Amino acid sequence: MMSTDFTWLIGGPQGSGVESGANIFSKVCAEMGYQVFGKREFYSNIKGEHSYFAVRVSDQNIHSNVNDVTLMASFDAETIFRHFNEVSPGGGIIYDSDLDGVDTTNVHTLDAPFKERLHSFLESKNKPFTIVGALEIAKEKGITLYPVSFKKLLENLSEEVDNPKLRGLVRMYNVLAVSMSLGIVKMPSNSLLHSIEQIFSKKPQIAEINKQAANYSYNYATAKFDGFNYELTGTQKQPKTILVQGFHGTALGKMACGCRFQPYYPITPASDESVFLESNEILENLDHRPGSTAVIQTEDEISAMGMTIGAALTGTRSATCTSGPGFALMTEALGWAGINEVPIVITNYQRSGPSTGLPTRHGQDDLLFSVYAGHGDFPKIVYASGDVEESFYDTGNCFNYAEVFQVPLIHLMDKFIASSVVTCKRFDSQKITINRGKLLDQVDDNYRRFEFTEDGISPRSRLGIDNGIFWNTGDESDETGHITEDPVLRVKMMDKRMSRLDFILKNIPESEQVVSFGIEDYTIISWGSAKGPILDAIDMLKKEGISIGFVQIKLLHPFPGDYVKSLLSNAKTIIDVEANHSGQLGKLFKQNVQRDIDYFILKYTGRAMTSTEVYDSLKKIIENKADKREILTHGA
């Protein structure tokens, strides 16, 4: 039997329920046993601009999106104009037949550069600049069109269930479109109704209306639209599967590993994590004494960082969560945490920079900035997770590293992960170990916070414990923490702190520094969320008998240069894949491994890589047809 690999895309104006539509679809597919990988794209806008969700569904393990859309569900004109050409031959498009006459000038949210490209494409196919024109091209490609008047559908439904309120309830279009999609692919309707019930469990009245609409639309589709090339009828469910949003990994990781203080300033795409933590601020403990996370919304990121440090000085596991612009504001205090050896975790959900950049779009832009963040030399750790599941366990490790090595730690995440919805194995908090390093519960006399020790790490007191008095200062200090400008002491203190970098490399297990997925003649190095598209692209090539190696570097600072070098000694061609302009990992690699990158595969459109385009570029590299810098551009 052929395996299932299906991509469903729903689009619409922001605020029209695209996200909840996608959540219903994802939940139904996950409940029916499929693996789900969905990602959301949206403008920096509250209402009106185009947003879309592409949900890939498979009975195999998947880690990314692909270029081709199998079935597109649209209820506005813009979605058709922007995405009709992504639907693959044999696929389908559900669209609102009342939109037939709309031309591109009627859609004011179509921006000029896109419109220009669209027009020249339609022109090249001799089509008018209308929905009809676009859909004719689709039809000629062998795509099945599913016209439906959403207005009429609602009118009929409203009569049938005798509920005049439903008439003209545009907010229901999303549910209608989802249900129609599921009808077309023959997904059993009970799973649809069940998912709606669950998603709206706190609003039974809304659940009821949605169920009526879903049922009606589903039946309409099964009665009217038969014979689609693809079916999603369910598959063997993997036990212990959860359907999570991207930010759930670090949020749940923080809860599980004992982070009890998180100040933050609102910023996309990071705030979701803090809001989730606050929504779950009271924690259940196995010792039956409830715990809690104090989540504090601050006046800016500088304050968030100051509070994080202040709380860490009390011995509390503390973190903040931000994105590039916010992290930029935090860097002065990052150095303070560095010189005072304060363990804190900064979760950075990166987005496209520089400056405000593409505020709601993806980018792995902050690697070098993180490595070099702050003025002066001080030890820190930069660590990156490759997907949601990893990020849960990594979060636990990150707090251990910060406390054991007494350094600030930057945990790099990104927008691709943050706004993805995926199935993965249920997180196991029993796998999270907690190591607080040299944190003291009680202190003997003559305590000195920055005492010179053999391993360069001093016992750490905390504010408020008996005999534990210490001083901190952003100035250079002596062992007690009082200011010094003595040149000899200065050297000793700098050496003490900076020796931490080697110590970190020696003490973090290699398996947590770097993950090798095999070394081949052609081997990829990468970091962070590029992992998913890379793994899927490698799988695609493997089916053609081509083996590509892959080394995922998770510990980015201090950089495990020697280890990476030895790992790659048999690799002939090194390919760096990442989502930024300059190949930032490549630069770190060159500096630390003293070896050139042979090819770069880079993407900086602000959209996540698909495995299709990584595959295409890898293929070109193997066939010796690639540019030194392969630049990926897929995605609206």
Nearer to other proteins, 14 or 472 (CB): 472
Radius of gyration for the alpha carbons in the chain, expressed in angstroms and rounded? 27
Residue with Cβ nearer other proteins (463 or 631)? 463
Nearer to other proteins, 161 or 328 (CB): 328
Rounded distance, CA 322 to CA 349, Å? 6
Choice from 281, 476, 512, 520 touching other proteins (CB under 8 A): 281
Q: Which stretch binds other proteins (CB under 8 A): 43-51, 56-64, 275-283, 509-517?
A: 275-283
Residues 379-418 that bind other proteins (CB under 8 A): 396
| Span of 420-428, 525-533, 534-542, 593-601 interacting with other proteins by CB under 8 A | 420-428
Single out the segment in contact with other proteins by CB under 8 A; choices: 129-137, 281-289, 402-410, 570-578.
281-289
By beta-carbon proximity to other proteins, the closer residue of 127 and 462 is 462
Among 260, 460, 554, 607, binds other proteins (CB under 8 A): 260
Smallest separation, CB 6 to other proteins (Å): 17
283, 439, 519, 631: residue in contact with other proteins (rule CB under 8 A): 283
The token duo for 393 is: 């366990």
How far apart are alpha carbons 14 and 632 in whole angstroms?
26
CA atoms of 355 and 364, how far apart (whole Å): 14
Site residues for other proteins, 215-244, by CB under 8 A, read 237, 240-244
Rounded to the nearest whole angstrom, what is the least distance from the CB of residue 207 to other proteins in the complex?
A: 16
Do 597 and 589 meet the contact criterion of CB atoms below 8 Å apart? Answer: yes
Point out which residues pair with 291 in neighbouring strands.
Answer: 283
The stretches of 499-543 forming alpha helices (DSSP H) are 500-507, 510-513, 531-543
Q: Could you tell me whether strands 87-96 and 555-557 are parallel, antiparallel, or unpaired per DSSP bridges?
A: unpaired
Q: Is 280 in the site for other proteins (CB under 8 A)?
A: yes
Exactly one of 123, 284, 441, 451 binds other proteins (CB under 8 A); that residue is 284
Cβ-based nearer residue to other proteins, 206 or 434: 434
Residue 317 touches other proteins, criterion: CB under 8 A? yes
Residue 497, token pair as written in the block? 């702190």
Q: Is 313 in the site for other proteins (CB under 8 A)?
A: yes
Q: Are 579 and 362 contacting, i.e. CB atoms less than 8 angstroms apart?
A: yes
Q: Which is nearer to other proteins, 343 or 558 (CB)?
A: 343
Q: Which of 100, 116, 123, 300 is close enough to bind other proteins by CB under 8 A?
A: 300
List beta partners, residue 147.
95
Which position among 45, 97, 473, 582 is part of the footprint of other proteins (CB under 8 A)? 473
Q: Is 282 in the site for other proteins (CB under 8 A)?
A: yes
- Shortest reach from residue 418's CB to other proteins, in Å: 16
CA–CA dist 348, 434 (Å, integer): 22
- Please report the DSSP string for 373-415 in residue order: -SSS----EEEE-SSHHHHHHHHHHHHHHHHHHT-EEEEEEEH
Q: Identify the residue among 291, 354, 492, 507 touching other proteins (CB under 8 A).
A: 291
Amino acid of residue 250: T
Q: In angstroms, what is the minimal distance from the CB of 246 to other proteins?
A: 13
Under rule CB under 8 A, which residues in 332-351 are in contact with other proteins? 332-333, 336
Residue 102 CA neighbour count, 13 Å, CB half? 21
Which residue among 167, 190, 469, 502 contacts other proteins (CB under 8 A)? 469
Residue 419 makes contact with other proteins by CB under 8 A: no
Encoded tokens for 286 = 């196995």
Site membership for other proteins, residue 475 (CB under 8 A): yes
483 contributes a contact to other proteins by CB under 8 A:
yes
Q: Per-residue x/- mask for other proteins, residues 423 to 462, rule CB under 8 A? A: x--xx-xx-xxxxx-------------------------x
Beta-strand pair 317-322/259-264: parallel
Would you tell me the crossing angle of helices 324-339 and 301-312 to the nearest 10 degrees?
30
Strands ordered across the beta sheet of 555-557: 294-297, 259-264, 317-322, 344-350, 408-414, 381-384, 555-557
Q: Which residues pair with 483 in a beta bridge?
A: 477
Question: What is the closest distance, in whole angstroms, from the C-beta atom of residue 444 to other proteins in the complex?
Answer: 13
Cα(175)–Cα(308) distance, rounded to whole angstroms?
Answer: 42
Select the residue interacting with other proteins from 112, 286, 594, 625 (CB under 8 A): 286
306 forms part of the interface with other proteins (CB under 8 A):
yes
Closest alpha carbon to 60 in 536, 616, 552? 536
Q: CA-CA distance, 182 to 29, in Å (whole number)?
A: 9
Q: What minimum distance in Å lies between the beta carbon of 475 and other proteins?
A: 7
Residue identified by tokens 């062998």 is 142
Measured on CA atoms in the order 423, 425, 428, 433, is the torsion positive or negative?
A: negative
Dist. CA 473–CA 460, nearest whole Å = 15
Q: Mask: binding to other proteins, 167-186, rule CB under 8 A, as x and -? A: --------------------
Q: How far is the CB of 276 from other proteins (least distance, A)?
A: 9
Tell me the pairing of strands 5-13 and 50-58.
Answer: antiparallel
Per CB under 8 A, the list member of 57, 148, 296, 530 interacting with other proteins is: 296
The residue range among 111-119, 346-354, 464-472, 550-558 that interacts with other proteins, by the rule CB under 8 A, is: 464-472
Query: Which positions ≥6 away from 411 have C-beta within 8 Å?
Result: 250, 345, 346, 347, 348, 383, 384, 385, 391, 394, 395, 398
Segment interacting with other proteins (CB under 8 A) among 91-99, 287-295, 351-359, 512-520: 287-295
CB of 627 to other proteins, least distance (A): 42
Q: Which is nearer to other proteins, 189 or 484 (CB)?
A: 484
Contact 95, 80 (CB under 8 A): yes
Q: Taking the complex as a whole, how short is the minimal distance between the CB of residue 103 and other proteins, in angstroms? A: 42
Q: Which of residues 65-124 bind other proteins (CB under 8 A)?
A: none
Distance CA 330, CA 345 (A): 12
For the bound state, the minimum distance from the C-beta of residue 256 to other proteins, rounded and expressed in Å, comes to: 5
Given the complex with other proteins, which of 294 and 519 has the nearer CB atom? 294
Q: Provide the strand spans (E) within 49-102.
A: 50-58, 69-74, 87-96
The amino acid at 322? T
Give the span between the Cα atoms of 347 and 618, in whole angstroms: 31
Contact with other proteins (CB under 8 A) among 30, 71, 373, 538: 30
- Residue closer to other proteins, measured from CB, 254 or 557: 254
